[in-house]
Every structure is written in structure tokens, then in C-alpha cells.
Amino acid sequence: MKGDTLTPLERFLAVVSHKEPDRVPLFLFPTLHGARELDMTLTDYFTRGENIVEGQLKLREKYQHDCLTGFFYAAAEVEAWGGEVLRRDDGPFNSGRPIIRDPEQILDLSPPIVDNARCLQESIKATAGLAAECGKDVPILGVAISPFSLPVMQMGFGSYLELMHDRPALFEALMAINEEFCVDWANAQLEAGATAIVYFDPVSSTTIIPRDLYLTTGLEVARRTIPRIQGPTGTHFASGHCLSIIPDIISTGTGVIGVSAEEDLSDIKTACDGKLTIVGNLNGVEMRRWTEQDAEHAVKTAIAKAGRGGGFILADNHGEIPWHVSEETLLAISSAVDQWGRYPLDWIDADA
Amino acid sequence: MTVESYREQFRDALLKMNQEAARELLMQTAEVLTPVQRLESLIIPALIDIGDQWGCGNAALSQLYMSGRICETLIDELIPILEVRRRDLPRTAVVVLGDFHVLGKRIVCSLLRSSGVDILDYGTAEVDETLTRIQEDGVKILLVSTLMLHSALKVIELRTKRDAAGLDFKIVVGGAPFRMDEMLWHEIGADAMGQSASDALGIIENLAKEME
């Protein structure tokens, strides 16, 4: 963007140190939109790591955002366990029938070897390709589904909630297996050149489970897993609420949180108390019908609430821009960040 | 102890996902409440309350899901099937369009069945299959449960094909995309939107009155 004096990586490092860089970083996650740039269907796009590299670089050139990712789709992780992926050309791929259909199967489960899983290796190839192209200047984000959230795809949401409630020993056994996989997968991405890992943990949000349950489940899993990931991590709740568990999240050792559009950024900023950097919280669902003015208003509001003092990265609230969001809207967001994201954010007082 | 006090204790047992405590409380009330009273004064209001609490962020999805499951089990165990008042409502079905995220649908089914509503569960289905089944079953109200945006947008196809075929049923939507964007249900042409599973019964009853 015109007027930038830092590289995206320098900007990222400044905000996570809770310092004000040249402007608010913009982490767009248009993981699907690369297919449009390459004039491919989503099904074709997500077959090769090289496509992701080319798509991500084209997207960054267009939107001037501050990160890249070799991420394919969340269901790739369960695909590595032998699970089915339901491909579609109008949105993100989903996992199909659960691989764990009877809780007793957990006793015979063993984690896949990352090096042997083609779906993961294509993502590794993308991460390595992006790192080779611009890893010195742009943060490359890896993504690992938390051991605590992966079972939603492994066994289905309802069955997993019942496992947690009815079969605590099998739940713990599954966590132990998943933790090994998550650590291996996250570290493989770091080794390939990822700057940091997004620890994707929607089930830990208070939208999904109450805090009391989180304290004895998702929190303990995160405390065991995150320290074993050999690089910086950010925890993302995929638009789930997290305000009331922020002090607990801090204790996991993560450095960043992805927050919901349904929670107030001022409250989140206060709760983070300079200990966590916030990523969020533009509403990706509403974004589909935003005008240029709507985009500008949303960007200004978010920056006004959380931008001061660093510790804030503007992004959508789910970790993935929906396929139906237009190029014009993403350009409007980028332009608004360029205009209103310059430090010092003196316009906030003038607008108040 | 008053009915209100029993109800609060029952709701709290559900929020703690404590099936034994919920069962014990229902058994305690057997001396003072008929099975129908237990259903209508304790179980249904408690489930609706928990659904409302989830809708405003004060309860978690796991509590709502497990509460529904616990109540279904307790109704099966403790309330004779003939005692449950079957509600005289238009034929209603629930579906998830082209998506395997079915937790919301299961919660809606639990709450409605616990409330004495006979609901047809179409599981995950595509639009054409859903329309065929609606015609075969004479469904007048279709609940569409969604998690993903693309699944929510499939309602446009559903509504367009419904209108083109001259079919007479109402479309009620619910789920995350509609909570995240409160204009979305209007835009896609649904007839009503529920913020939470606990809204479903009221919406069905209101639509039933409109259809009379």
C-alpha cells in the first residue's frame, strides 16, 4: 500500500510486540478466492500446492494484505486420517462421513504420519513455495486444527459432545492421539517455512461449551499442545465467543486470538490487557452484501475500537473469507485500511 | 416447593448436563404433577429457556444439545407416550440442505419432539430430493437448519423451485449465517427465521394460525 514503510513481517512483529507500526496490518484470509484468480474451479484449485502459491501471490498483489497461507481446507486434516472430503465449487470443502463411528474405535486409532499424507504434503509444498518467494518479508501462516476441535470432523458434532460427557476415558484417549498429530502437523508446517501456526479451536469457544467444561477439557489440551509447537501460535475460535475465557487463553502460551464479530472489540482489547494480539473481527457473512461505504465503516469501527497501541490485526472473524464475497468488497476493505489504518490513529479522537 | 422452583432446579440440572439430577427431580414431582404437567410446566419451559439463553450468549451449544438429549431420554422413561399431548399442527419437516453439519437439526428435533410435535427428519438432502419428499408427505412447514453460508444460500433455489412448481409450504430458516447477518433470511426469501432452536415451536404455531 502506498505509504508503507515496513514490510508485512516487520509490521506483524511490531503489533504482536504491542507496538504501533506504520499501519494496522490486514490479514485477509481469501483461501478460496485464489481459484478465481487462476480461473479454476475450487475442485481443481485444491489439487496442487503450486496452485495455492500462485493464487495466494496474485491475491496479495491485488489486495495488498499482510499475510499468506499454504492452507488448503480444514477437512484435509481428517482426509489424512482416511476420512472423506466433500468437494464443491461454491464454497469450502467439508468432511463427509465420520471416521469414528463407534467410540470404541478410538482404542485402535493411531495418528497418520504427516510425511505420508498427500493432502498434507500439498499444503506443505504450498507453504514452502510461499516461504521461498517472500518468507523474509511476509508472514506465512500455517493452520492446525486443535486436538480438541478435530473430533467434530472425526466423529460428528453430536457424537463428540456425547463422548465428552459420557465417556471421559475414551475422550482422553482421543485427545492423546490427536495431540501427537497436531504437534507433528504444526511443526512440519513450521519446518517448511511457516512463520506462525493458527491453532484453530472453535469447540473451546463459549459459544460451543461452557467455561467450566473448557477448563477441564479444551484448556488442558491447549496447555499440553501449544508449548510443543516449535514456533509462535495464535488461537482462532472461528467466530465463536471467547471474551470470558481470555485470561485462560493467555495461560496456554498463545500470542494471538481470532475473535467474533458478535463480541465488542473494546471489551476484548481491555481483557487482553496487552498480553494477546487480537485478530478480527469483520463479519464475513454480512460482508457478502457490503457496499464500499459499509466496508469503510466496518474497518473504521474496528480500528477505532482496537487499533491503538498495536496488538491488533484487522481480519474477518471466521478465518476464511466466504466464496461469495466480491473482489470489489475486498478492495474496499484494503483501501479503507490504507486510508484509516495509518498510525498514529489521531482521527479517532476527531471522530469521537 | 412451587412449580417455578422445580422448573428452575430442573433447568439448572440440564445446564449442568446432569441427567441423574434431572431424573430425580422429575420423579420427585410425580406426586404433585401429572405427566402432562411435568412435560408442559417443567420440561418444555426449561428447554425453551436454555435455547433463549443460548440465543443471547448465556449458554453454550453443548448445553442446549445435551439438554435436548437428556429430555428425550427422560420423556421416554418417565412419561407414558399416550400422556404426551400431540400438538395439532401442520405437517412439519426439518432438513439440512447439502451439508453434513447436522447438530442444529438434531437440537431442533429434540426440542420439538419433547414438545409433542411430530416432525419429519429429512436429514441432509439436496433441494430436488427435499421438494419430492415434501410433496409425498404433504409437508406444510419446512425448517431449514444451516451452519455454512453456501447451505443457507441454497434456500434461494428451494424457494424459486417451490414457487415455480406452485407448492404450498412455508420455509423457516435458522442457524449461524442468519444470526451473523439478520437481513439474510429476507434476502433469500424465507418466510420466517429462528434465532435459536427454542424459537421453532412458536414460529410453527404462528404459521399454523396464518394458515387457518
Q: What is the full per-residue pLDDT of chain B (212 aa) written as tens digits?
A: 888 999 999 999 999 999 999 999 999 998 888 888 888 889 989 998 998 898 888 999 999 999 999 998 898 888 776 556 667 899 999 999 987 788 889 889 988 888 888 899 999 999 999 999 999 999 999 999 998 888 899 999 999 999 999 999 999 999 999 999 999 999 999 999 998 888 999 999 999 999 88
Record: contact A92-B66, CB cut-off 8 A:
no
pLDDT in the model for residue B129: 97
Domains belonging to chain B, first-starting first, are 3-83 (1.10.1240.10), 92-211 (3.40.50.280)
Record: contact B101-A283, CB cut-off 8 A:
no
Give yes or no for residue A314 having a pLDDT over 90.
yes
The answer to whether residues A33 and A331 touch, using CB atoms and an 8 Å cutoff, is no
pLDDT band of residue A227 (cuts 50, 70, 90) is very high
Give yes or no for residue A121 having a pLDDT over 70.
yes
pLDDT, tens digit (0-9, with 9 covering 90-100), for A125-164: 999 999 999 999 999 999 999 999 999 999 999 999 999 9
Record: contact A158-B65, CB cut-off 8 A:
yes
H or E stretch at B48 = helix B44-55
**Mean per-residue pLDDT over chain A, rounded:** 97
Give yes or no for residue A316 having a pLDDT over 90.
yes
The answer to whether residues A143 and A197 touch, using CB atoms and an 8 Å cutoff, is yes
Residues 6 or more apart whose Cβ sits within 8 Å of residue A109: A100, A174, A177
pLDDT in the model for residue B84: 60
Cell of A162: 456425547
pLDDT exceeding 90 applies to what percent of chain A?
97
Which chain B residues touch A if contact means CB-CB below 8 Å?
15, 17, 57, 59-63, 65-66, 69, 98-103, 106, 148-150, 153, 176-177, 179-181, 183-184, 187
Alpha carbon distance A242, A260 (integer Å): 8
The answer to whether residues A163 and A151 touch, using CB atoms and an 8 Å cutoff, is yes
Bridging pattern class, strands A85-86 and A68-69 = unpaired
Residues 6 or more apart whose Cβ sits within 8 Å of residue B73: B19
Identify the residue among B14, B50, B100, B105 best suited for mutation to test binding to A, counting A beta carbons within 10 A and taking the highest. B100
Record: contact A213-B60, CB cut-off 8 A:
yes
Record: contact A157-B57, CB cut-off 8 A:
no
Peptide bond into A227 cis (omega under 30): no
pLDDT in the model for residue A186: 98
* Identity of the residue in A94, A165, A289 whose CB atom sits nearest the CB atom of B17: A165
Q: Give the gap in angstroms from C-alpha B209 to the nearest C-alpha of chain A.
A: 32
Alpha carbon distance B24, B26 (integer Å): 5
> What average pLDDT does this structure show over A208-225?
97
Alpha carbon distance A316, A279 (integer Å): 8
Domains belonging to chain A, first-starting first, are 8-351 (3.20.20.210)
* Identity of the residue in A86, A90, A157 whose CB atom sits nearest the CB atom of B103: A157
Query: Among candidates A254, A273, A263, A269, which has minimal Cα distance to A303?
Result: A269
Identify the residue among B149, B154, B157, B183 best suited for mutation to test binding to A, counting A beta carbons within 10 A and taking the highest. B149
The answer to whether residues A87 and A93 touch, using CB atoms and an 8 Å cutoff, is yes
Record: contact B66-A210, CB cut-off 8 A:
no
pLDDT, tens digit (0-9, with 9 covering 90-100), for B129-146: 999 999 999 999 999 999
pLDDT in the model for residue A53: 98
Contacts of A158 in chain B (CB under 8 A): 65, 102-103, 106
Identify the residue among A164, A208, A316 best suited for mutation to test binding to B, counting B beta carbons within 10 A and taking the highest. A208
Where helices occur in chain A by DSSP H, the ranges are: 8-16, 34-37, 42-45, 49-63, 75-80, 118-134, 151-155, 157-166, 168-192, 211-216, 218-225, 246-250, 265-272, 284-287, 292-306, 327-340, 347-351
Residues 6 or more apart whose Cβ sits within 8 Å of residue A241: A205, A206, A207, A260, A262, A263, B57
Three-state helix/strand/coil letters over A65-115: CCCEECCCCCHHHHHHCCCCEECCCCCCCEECCCCCCCHHHHHHCCCCCHH
A10-19, A52-61, A264-273, B70-79: segment of lowest average pLDDT: B70-79
Residues 6 or more apart whose Cβ sits within 8 Å of residue A248: A211, A214, A215, A219
A21-30, A212-221, A258-267, B77-86: segment of lowest average pLDDT: B77-86
Contacts of B181 in chain A (CB under 8 A): 283, 285-286, 288-289
**Beta-bridge partner residues of B121:** B94
Q: Give the gap in angstroms from C-alpha B36 to the nearest C-alpha of chain A.
A: 28
Cell of A33: 478466492
Alpha carbon distance A249, A252 (integer Å): 5
Q: Give the gap in angstroms from C-alpha A249 to the nearest C-alpha of chain B.
A: 18
pLDDT, tens digit (0-9, with 9 covering 90-100), for A79-89: 999 999 999 99
